[in-house]
Amino acid sequence: MTPTPTRLSLLPALDVPRLAGAILLVLVCIPLVAAFAPLVSGGFTSTMNRALREPRFLSSFGFGLKQALASTALAVVLGLPGAWFLARRDFPGRRVLSALTSVPFCVPPLIVAIGFVLYFGREGALNRALVALFGLSRPPVDFLFSFAGIVLIHGFYNFPLVMRLVGDAWAASPSDMEDAARLLGAGRVRTLFTVTLPSLAPSIGAAASMVFLLCFFSFVIVMIFGGPGVGTPEVELYRAARFDLDRPLASAFALVETVVAMAALAAYAWFERLSGLSRRIMGPPRQRARVRTPAGSVALAAYVLFVVLFLIGPLASILVESFVVHPRGAAAPVAGLGNYLRLAESAGFLRAFANTIVLGLSSAAIAAVMGFVFAAAAGRSSTGLLASILPLLPLAVSGVVLAYGWTTMAGRGTPLSIAGIQAVSAYPFVMRGIQGAVGHADERYIEAARTLGSGSVAAILRVRLPLAAPALFSGFAFAFAISVGDANALVVAPAAGFETLALLLFRSAGSYRFSDACAAAVILAALSGFVFFLKDAGVSTRAKARDVVA
């Protein structure tokens, strides 16, 4: 029964790192190279020179950076109080606030955009309420289709991410440090600014770089709210390729955009490493205190109200609006299922519905396999280099760039390439959960199984796979939600005749048919909600040892 020192392999017949490399090559490297290729064919320097002289090239990057920085600042400011509440305070509704942190992952930007139009728009819920309340003659809130509107949407859409990332770090950092500062003579405010925030700086930096990246890559929100002016590089890339048929310029956008994203990603990795270092010296965290003081209750209530107003409000108004039927002519709107019925009767709806499910399942399956293989490969790598780079790399490559890459090769998208693009976009969020369950952290369990007499295959089937299963389910659900809500890939690389709900949604929103859009959005949300429900049901039947939300 002496265990022989064989190599522990995830898939015994395959070389795992090589498999990971092959996946990376097909799904990321090839389309990326294809996206950059038109640059070279026209002569790299001359193409770049032409791009730099093109006024909209630089102004697009200026706009993209400016809006991403402003959105990030807003998201950080909005997210920090929530992070503090989540990390340090116990209160009724804490779980709800915590659940909201998945919004940026699960609710597609398309739906958020529609929600904001319905809520903050000229005819939106907020304006109607304000007009009715104060008897105004014209709607007071009118900034949506502007720079401020884009920043607002991005900030509100992404602040839960800051809340989550910083909140986790905050919860893990013991309050002893703040106690020590108090005893060394610092008051509460001084402690906050000289100890608490500086010690959280690495996680705040990491969260901010992530939000910056997501805002910089924003596509549909800028398409809808940016108007005819210069858009973000993503939008301009699309316009250059699609309407001007200027591939070299589109490729220049793709290249510079990817370089900027790489820089943001490097910043993210650097901050993550720093926060890992400071976590190493910390003791166990203290328990959360209850909110008891009146001031605390007021602050909490204000924050919750604000979240309800600005995050839940827009989403809820989609649900409400989907049941409001606007009859032809001047008749007053009535409640009913008319929007859903019209949608269901419309040509191609059923096909789009079926396509959405098939596409969602395919990209989720690809993303889950990618996550599993990459996590196993990263766990096996001795340098740790793979472990730190693999999970992040695809983040710097936007779905729009990948989709553009596919169109330069094939002229158009295919359902399979679309699934691949979406899997790459979803995979970083999947990886985070899976890595903990499959990666080197669990090598000990495998070794224990081996010393207890399991062969290497048995150890994988009976230990590694069950350990990873909840994370795989969870990753699958996230990837599915991201895929069904994603229209970017299909907008940029249309696959002839391949309609999905997200595409329907994009078109109706683009042509201001919001009643249809709302019904489609609710169906879409229900679809991904259903998968999340299945995931939770599946996971909770197992030992819920790991919390695997990305």
Give the binding range for other proteins (CB under 8 A) out of 24-32, 87-95, 171-179, 500-508.
Answer: 171-179
Residue type, 299: A
DSSP state of 440: G
Nearer to other proteins, 98 or 388 (CB): 388
**Nearest approach, Cβ of 83 to other proteins (angstroms)?**
17
Kindly give, in sequence order, each residue whose CB lies less than 8 Å from that of residue 90, ignoring residues fewer than 6 positions away.
Answer: 288, 289, 290, 291
Task: Give the nearest distance from C-beta 292 to other proteins in angstroms.
Answer: 11
Tell whether residue 294 is a contact of other proteins (CB under 8 A).
Answer: no
**If binding means CB under 8 A, how many residues of this protein chain bind other proteins?**
25
Of residues 178-217, those binding other proteins (CB under 8 A): 179-187, 190, 194-195, 198-199, 201
Q: How many CB atoms lie within 10 A of CB 320?
A: 13
Phi, psi (degrees; rounded to nearest 5) at 90: -110, 130
- Whole-Å CA distances, 268 to 106, 264, 312, 393: 22, 6, 29, 11
Q: Report 260-289 residues binding other proteins (CB under 8 A).
A: 277-278, 280-284
State the amino acid at position 193 in one-letter form.
F
Least distance from C-beta 170 to other proteins, angstroms? 13
Which amino acid, one-letter code, is at 546? R
The smaller minimum CB distance to other proteins, of residues 193 and 533, is found at 193
**Judged by CB under 8 A, which stretch of 20-28, 176-184, 353-361, 503-511 contacts other proteins?**
176-184
Q: Give the one residue of 3, 21, 42, 174 binding other proteins; rule: CB under 8 A.
A: 174
Shortest reach from residue 302's CB to other proteins, in Å = 25
Shortest distance (Å) from residue 450 CB to other proteins: 30
| Residues 301-360 close enough to bind other proteins by CB under 8 A | none
In the three-class reduction of DSSP (H, G, I as helix; E, B as strand; rest coil), residue 243 is classed as coil
The rounded distance, in Å, linking the Cα atoms of 90 and 338 is 43
Distance CA 336, CA 229 (A): 38
Distance of alpha carbon 217 from alpha carbon 190, whole angstroms? 37
∠ Cα 524 407 351 (to 5°): 30
Considering the complex, state which of residue 185 and residue 497 has its C-beta at the smaller distance from other proteins: 185
**Nearest-CA neighbor of 154 among 201, 208, 200?**
208
Shortest distance (Å) from residue 264 CB to other proteins: 22
**Nearest-approach distance from CB 199 to other proteins, in angstroms:** 5
Tokens standing for residue 251: 């490729």
Residues 392-451 that bind other proteins (CB under 8 A): none
Q: What residue ranges bind other proteins (CB under 8 A)? A: 174, 176-177, 179-187, 190, 194-195, 198-199, 201, 277-278, 280-284
